[in-house]
Amino acid sequence: MAARYRVKVDRMGRVTIPKAVRDRLGIREGTILELELREVGADSGGAYLGGEVIVARVLVR
């Protein structure tokens, strides 16, 4: 099941990861994440939906 969250970037370029996401992924202070920018696209009922997403991977807990 996919979940979608909106987060806001502060003036220092930081984002707050929602608590539900941190809890689910075991993210706590000091956790290192790897971020990857991916281009995505899908054909949905004849309409092309494309864009970029950030994929995060937990490297160190």
Residue 21 to residue 41: CA distance in whole angstroms = 24
User: Has residue 5 got a pLDDT over 80?
Assistant: yes
pLDDT of residue 17: 93
pLDDT of residue 51: 73
pLDDT of residue 48: 53
pLDDT of residue 2: 74
Q: Is residue 47 exposed (0-12), middle (13-18) or buried (19+ Cβ within 10 Å)?
A: exposed
Reported as a single tens digit per residue, the pLDDT across 8-58 is: 999 999 999 999 999 988 999 999 988 887 777 665 555 555 677 777 788
pLDDT of residue 56: 77
Residue 32 to residue 41: CA distance in whole angstroms = 28
Taking the domains of the chain in order of start, what are their residue ranges? 19-60
Residue 28 to residue 22: CA distance in whole angstroms = 7
